[in-house]
Amino acid sequence: MKERFKALLFYALFWILFFIVARLFFILTHLSEAALYSPGEIAATFRHGLRLDISATGYIFLIPVFILIPALWFNRKIFGTIINWYSIIVIIIASAIVVADTLLYKYWGFRMDHTAFLYLNTPGEAAASVTFFQMAGVITGILILSASFIWLYRRFLVRLFNNLSVVRYRFAATITLLILWGLMIIPIRGGLGLAPIYAGSVYFSRNTFVNHTAINVVWNVGNTLVNKKQTANPYVFAGHEESLEQVSSITRKGSAPVKIINNDRPNILILVMESFGSALTGSLGGDTITTPRFNEWCREGVLFSGFYASGFRTDKAMPAILNGYPAQPAASIMKDSRKTESLPGLVKILQEEGYNASFWYGGDINFANFNAYLINSGFSRIITQDNFDPADRNSKWGIHDHVLFNALRDSMDHIKEPFLRVVLSLSSHEPFDVPVDPVFEGRDELTKFRNSLHYTDSVLGDFLDNAAGSEWWGNTLIIIVADHFRRNSGDLLVYSEDIFQIPMLWTGGVTVKRDTMISRLGSQVDIPITLLRQMNLDGEFPFSKDLLSDDAHSFAFYTFNEGFGFITDSSKYIYDHKLGGPVLSEGNDPLYAGKLGKAYLQVLYDDFLKR
């Protein structure tokens, strides 16, 4: 078995070397762009990119490890030959991807993915887009790169697989190789963490080109081919221009808003609370004892009572909150690093006004491609579980909320103003393993969830109590909003608005109104434009409206996996796309509400596909 493990070790090192050379090749063919960055930044792309290099190697590794199992029992030479031919074919394919990517990047500005294969249906048109010399250069590059690594492979690896000796304990060796084959899931997923690896997992810089350089393009092509995205809008209900006009009519800015803050440039602290929902918020007519501290603080600010989450997961909430970008039914823009680069953003607008922006989260920042999204959004500092003592990682998701909020509180003593800080809690996420004794008796999911909310609510209350006595409080706006709610009963339908109704509270030293309730319907996508207009600033958020403008339309739009809900003051329309019709239609004019909701979704998805 030793020689087999030796062969596999050298095989893995061979492919790591290939991907290092591929990255160097990308840098050399884009020297004019690479020269804009420091040698340290360029060198760091190899270190950060190693995660995807290892993942790609893990995928390639699966076939040789599996083939070595029958080679224990049958003709070893035949199976060694199969591995060698498989490897040569993969070298040629990988070389073609690496070289073609260097040309496509000059035109596209993003690393090659599955979209390149869409042009294979029209090879004549694709070839017409490049010159003869470019085509010749690509072919030459493929030949040189593949020939070089085929030579290396034949020089050092062919004999290792061709000259495998007989194994004495074949059954034990078979079990060992099967275990090794199964363990390949670890490098493929990028480790043992909850979050599988994404292209954005290797992002580490605010510079797009540097992040792109860290991507393993072979992995990227394979991943996007397996997880191929739609290229046609499945939600077309009317003409494009008609739909655009309808969306524009309900998202116009409206008149000057009612001012609820007394400072045009306040510090801004956005606290995104995991799974807080209106049904468990007493100040909104729900459960009065699960979140008592939040209920108390609702009397110290402006509470938005007709507020909805844009979607049903955190990765759908953050683009809505920070980019004014609605959740898509069966997709998530956060998971596509290329698309998030082009999103309008609250963070970037405020940074231009001199704000220093940071994001705080006690979990794994690579989950759902968070890291790349936050970098693309413009945050200059990102705090994660990695910034805390490993002894504090006593939650399945990372750092418990009291540790995170205590660190946030302590950091405020030395903070530079004006600041934008966005904080995401996590302890009220499944499996609800909070570090305190339960307040509510029971072992069912709802009771455990309520106990976790009660814990996080107490952490939130303590933080706000301390903040109210701080020096920075008087010049600070605090926005407390849930990322989403959850389905707490099997009787609750997945599209029910009860799942999407969430609280939003504006408080802090700059708020001029206390114990005030805003009933206009809205959702997370309305936060950026509402906030900016309070600051006498502007931004392009085509799906947002100003919740504090008297003549803004009152509606909320949310999406579930295959449909949407559109809620107005007088009607409700919930549409299931698989069904091809509404599952709920009630009120004065639900058909009109449905027409607006369909237009909104159609325009949204058109925009999503174009990014």
Question: What's the mean per-residue pLDDT of the chain?
Answer: 92
The model's pLDDT over 548-592, given as tens digits with 9 standing for 90+, comes to: 999 999 999 999 987 999 999 999 999 998 788 999 999 999 999
Residues ≥6 apart with Cβ < 8 Å to 134: 103
Amino acid at 62: L
Helix/strand/coil for 393? coil
**Residues 203 and 369 sit within 8 Å (Cβ to Cβ):** no
Percentage of the chain modeled with pLDDT above 70: 96
Give which of 425, 206, 223, 452 is closest to 314, Cα–Cα. Answer: 425
Which phi and psi (to 5°) does residue 45 adopt? -65, -30
The model's pLDDT over 374-424, given as tens digits with 9 standing for 90+, comes to: 999 999 999 999 999 999 998 888 999 999 999 999 999 889 999 999 999
Helix/strand/coil for 572? strand
- Please state, in angstroms and rounded to a whole number, the distance separating the CA atoms of residues 423 and 435: 20
The pLDDT value recorded for residue 118 is: 59
The stretch 135-147 carries a mean pLDDT of 95
The pLDDT value recorded for residue 368 is: 78
Q: DSSP assignment of 43-83, as one string?
A: HHHHHHHHHHHHHHHHHHHHHHHHHTTGGGTS-HHHHHHHH
The pLDDT value recorded for residue 394 is: 86
- Does residue 126 surpass a pLDDT of 60? no
Amino acid at 475: N
The pLDDT value recorded for residue 435 is: 95
The pLDDT value recorded for residue 199 is: 85
- Does residue 56 surpass a pLDDT of 70? yes
The stretch 433-443 carries a mean pLDDT of 95
pLDDT bucket at 124, cuts 50 / 70 / 90: low
Give which of 291, 277, 303, 309 is closest to 459, Cα–Cα. Answer: 291
- Does residue 99 surpass a pLDDT of 90? yes
The pLDDT value recorded for residue 362 is: 95
Q: DSSP assignment of 32-47, as one string?
A: HHHTTS-HHHHHHHHH
- Does residue 310 surpass a pLDDT of 70? yes
Spell out the domains of the chain, with CATH numbers in brackets.
2-226 (no CATH), 259-322+332-517+525-531 (3.40.720.10)
The model's pLDDT over 202-257, given as tens digits with 9 standing for 90+, comes to: 989 878 889 999 999 999 999 988 887 777 999 999 999 999 999 999 998 789 99
The pLDDT value recorded for residue 568 is: 98
- Does residue 127 surpass a pLDDT of 90? no
Which phi and psi (to 5°) does residue 511 adopt? -75, 135
The pLDDT value recorded for residue 384 is: 95
What pTM does this model have? 0.81
Percentage of the chain modeled with pLDDT above 90: 75
Range in 66-75, 256-265, 524-533 the model is least confident about: 66-75
Q: Is 263 left (phi over 0), alpha (psi -120 to 50) or beta?
A: beta
- Does residue 122 surpass a pLDDT of 60? no
- Please state, in angstroms and rounded to a whole number, the distance separating the CA atoms of residues 175 and 69: 9
Q: Which segments of 446-549 are extended strands (E)?
A: 476-482, 504-507, 516-518, 522-523
- Please state, in angstroms and rounded to a whole number, the distance separating the CA atoms of residues 334 and 345: 13
Q: At what angle do helices 132-156 and 2-28 cross, to 10 degrees?
A: 160
